[in-house]
Amino acid sequence: PFWFILCGNMLKIFRFMEFLFFFYYKTVNVLIFPLYFCMISTNQHEEVKMMIYTEKVIPFENRAGGKGTGILRIAMEDEQLEGRAKAIMSVTLHPGSSIGSHQHVGNLEIYYVLKGEGIFTVNGKSEPIHAGQAGSMNPGDWHSIENTGSEDMLISAVILYE
């Protein structure tokens, strides 16, 4: 049928458009996005919400019963994440420092070590961890992390709701 040929040709056109971010044709007020065939009426005068946030820097000492010092850099929290996650942050642990054993209730946490090395403990089981490795904790798990290296340990962390 003719419509099948037309749709097949449209698919080829849209595959070509995968290489473009978007095309905005002002005279008919239609947005065409790659991989999608959708027409969206837009308000040209609508204000765009910025999605750039300034981190909160929180130095700490003996966090959660741990030892030594470090720095929390909270990039985004629940409010900015619109309830999709609790927080996105980085943690700097100075040599010999740790975050003591603590529990997250109602959420899980994922660590990704960007720099340094240490010991990661979940529910009493300890494993060495170093740059390029990740660790995760399920809701209710007790966990801690210690920097055992001679340089700062830098960790990226995301706390997600169950």
User: What per-residue confidence (pLDDT) applies to 25?
Assistant: 37
User: What per-residue confidence (pLDDT) applies to 81?
Assistant: 86
Q: Note down pLDDT in tens along the chain; length 162 residues.
A: 443 444 444 444 443 343 333 333 333 333 333 333 333 334 455 555 667 889 999 999 999 999 999 999 999 998 888 888 999 999 999 999 999 999 989 999 999 999 999 999 999 999 999 999 999 999 999 999 999 999 999 999 999 998
User: What per-residue confidence (pLDDT) applies to 49?
Assistant: 61
User: What per-residue confidence (pLDDT) applies to 62?
Assistant: 98
Q: How far apart are CA 9 and CA 31, in angstroms?
A: 19
User: What per-residue confidence (pLDDT) applies to 80?
Assistant: 86
Residues 6+ apart with CB under 8 A from 150: 95
User: What per-residue confidence (pLDDT) applies to 47?
Assistant: 59
User: What per-residue confidence (pLDDT) applies to 14?
Assistant: 41
Paired residues of 111 in beta bridges: 135, 157
pTM for this structure?
A: 0.68
DSSP the chain: -HHHHHHHHHHHHHHHHTTSS-EEETTTTEEE-TT--------TTPPPPP---PPEEEEEESGGG--SEEEEEEEEETTTTTTS-SEEEEEEE-TT-EEEEEE-SSEEEEEEEEE-EEEEEETTEEEEEETT-EEEE-TT-EEEEEE-SSS-EEEEEEEEE-
User: What per-residue confidence (pLDDT) applies to 84?
Assistant: 85
Contact, 135 vs 99, CB < 8 A? no
User: What per-residue confidence (pLDDT) applies to 20?
Assistant: 35
User: What per-residue confidence (pLDDT) applies to 16?
Assistant: 38
Q: What are phi and psi of 63, to 5 degrees?
A: -65, 130
Paired residues of 143 in beta bridges: 102, 122
Q: Which residues of 2-16 are buried (b: 16+ CB within 10 A; e: fewer)?
A: eeeeeeeeeeeeeee
